[in-house]
């Protein structure tokens, strides 16, 4: 009797074990596929019931491995998985600071049988994206805009997302304020360009921001800004200067030459304090000077009680940066007297000489005319 009573139960247990054995793991996935030390990720396991009957399931769990902590286990109870059906279980995990491949175990507990155990590989790799400065000037100059190009590459076995570069630093004008590269697949690289105008020596810091899955990460890379001589910039040389007095003002003329390697644009020449620029040439524009180009200039000014005045040459480079060069030129301490106006600058000796010649010529002509009249009589 006892045997006959237990027989159906035993048969049911056998069927339950057989059906449970038909539940298999179809696959697994971690997101991100490759973690960095300390990253959080999701581990997803998909199962399928290949039996012809439903399989009761008590729970599904993922067990912490010493290097991969399981943050949540939401499937403390489950139910039954129908024949031919699939089910997906997702767990949140966090990697330790160690690198390697670790195996937290997925366990599926059946109500009428034992359990299914399946180790899920989780890879942790600390390889960082690489940041490099691909182009920068030979020298930085105060208040001069320079171009700096940087490159970001991904040597990791998995993709990274939301890659951007943000430059920063004290006393720096930077455009654009940030640059977005986007996603970088393994072995891909992206390049961005910034215009940097430093007001003083400082550290330019590039912050590389990216995501590995949902994990936001930053890397800071400093680039020291140290001023030095710009060996290529335009250099203005003044030569052949002559200063003459014209009535109530001075006139200075001469040559300007660009001895540098870059173009000097919008060259403008005038005089500085204590000189006061006056018409007709308060300011003399020369336009552009290519390397080795030469141009004349002519400026007019007033000054009192000075033996030299500054000749100021302003010009710009191709980026619009303004430069100024000053050359001292000598003048007579006082302007010669003789009244105002252009006519007064004509030499007095020459005027007197012309008048004398005219009088003599007139006298000769008169005497010739008078002698001719006398001869006619």
What pLDDT score does 4 carry? 41
236-330 to CATH, choices 3.30.70.600, 3.40.710.10, 3.90.470.20, 2.60.40.10: 2.60.40.10
CATH architecture of 16-124: Sandwich (2.60)
Q: And the tokens for 338?
A: 């003789």
Residue ranges in the chain whose pLDDT is less than 70: 1-14, 333-357, 371-377
pTM assigned to the model: 0.65
Cβ–Cβ < 8 Å for 275, 299: no
What pLDDT score does 131 carry? 95
- Dump pLDDT digits (tens) for 145-176: 889 999 999 999 999 999 999 999 999 999 99
Domain boundaries, the chain: 16-124, 130-225, 236-330
What pLDDT score does 331 carry? 85
CATH architecture of 130-225: Sandwich (2.60)
Do domains 130-225 and 236-330 share one topology? The answer is: yes
3-class SS letters over the chain: CHHHHHHHHHHHHHHHHHHHHCEEEEEEEEECCEECCCCEEEEEEEEEECCCCCEEEEEEEEECECCEEECCCCCCCCEEECCCCEEEEEEEEEECCCCEEECCEEEEEECCCCEEEEECCEEECCCCCEEEEEECCCCECCCCCEEEEEEEECCCCCCEEEEEEEEECCCEEEECCCEEEEEECCCCEEEEEEEEEECCCEEEEEEEEEEECCEEEEEEEEEEECECCCCCCCCEEEEEEEEEEECCEEEEEEEEEECCCCCEEEEEEEECCCCEECCCCCCEEEEEECCCCEEEEEEEEECCCCCEEEEEEEEECCCCCEEEEEEEEECCCCCCCCCCCHHHHCCHHHHHHHHHHHHHHHHHHHHHHHHHHHHHC
């Amino acid at each position: 009797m006892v045997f006959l009573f237990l027989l159906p139960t035993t048969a049911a247990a056998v069927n339950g074990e057989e059906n449970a054995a038909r539940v298999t793991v179809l696959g697994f996935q971690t997101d991100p596929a490759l973690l960095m030390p300390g990253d959080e990720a999701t581990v997803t396991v998909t199962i399928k019931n290949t039996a012809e009957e439903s399989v009761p399931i008590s729970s599904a769990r993922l067990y912490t491995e010493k290097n991969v902590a399981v943050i949540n286990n939401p499937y403390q109870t489950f139910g039954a998985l129908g024949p031919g059906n699939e089910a997906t279980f997702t767990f949140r995990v966090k990697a330790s600071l160690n690198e390697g491949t670790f195996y937290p175990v997925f366990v599926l507990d059946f109500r009428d049988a034992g359990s299914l155990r399946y180790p899920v590989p989780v890879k942790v790799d600390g390889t960082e994206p690489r940041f490099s400065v691909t182009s920068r000037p030979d020298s930085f100059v105060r208040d001069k805009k320079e171009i700096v190009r940087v490159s970001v590459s991904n040597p990791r076995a998995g993709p990274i997302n939301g890659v951007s570069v943000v430059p920063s630093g004290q006393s720096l004008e930077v455009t654009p304020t940030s640059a977005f590269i986007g996603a970088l697949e393994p072995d891909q690289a992206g390049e961005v360009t910034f215009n940097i105008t430093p007001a003083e020596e400082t550290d330019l810091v590039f912050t590389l921001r990216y995501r590995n899955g949902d994990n936001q990460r930053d890397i800071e890379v400093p680039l020291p800004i140290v001023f030095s001589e710009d060996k290529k910039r335009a250099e203005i040389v003044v030569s052949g200067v002559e200063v003459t007095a014209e009535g109530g003002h001075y006139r200075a003329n001469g040559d300007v030459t660009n001895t540098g390697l870059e173009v000097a644009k919008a060259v403008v020449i005038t005089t500085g304090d204590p000189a006061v620029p006056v018409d007709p040439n308060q300011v003399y524009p020369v336009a552009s000077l290519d390397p080795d180009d030469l141009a004349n200039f002519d400026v007019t000014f007033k000054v009192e009680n000075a033996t030299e005045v500054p000749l100021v040459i302003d010009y710009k480079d191709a980026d619009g940066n303004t430069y100024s060069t000053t050359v001292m030129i000598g003048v007579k301490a006082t302007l010669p007297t003789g009244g105002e106006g252009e006519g007064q600058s004509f030499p007095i000796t020459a005027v007197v000489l012309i008048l004398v010649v005219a009088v003599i010529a007139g006298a000769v002509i008169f005497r010739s005319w008078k002698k001719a009249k006398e001869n006619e009589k």
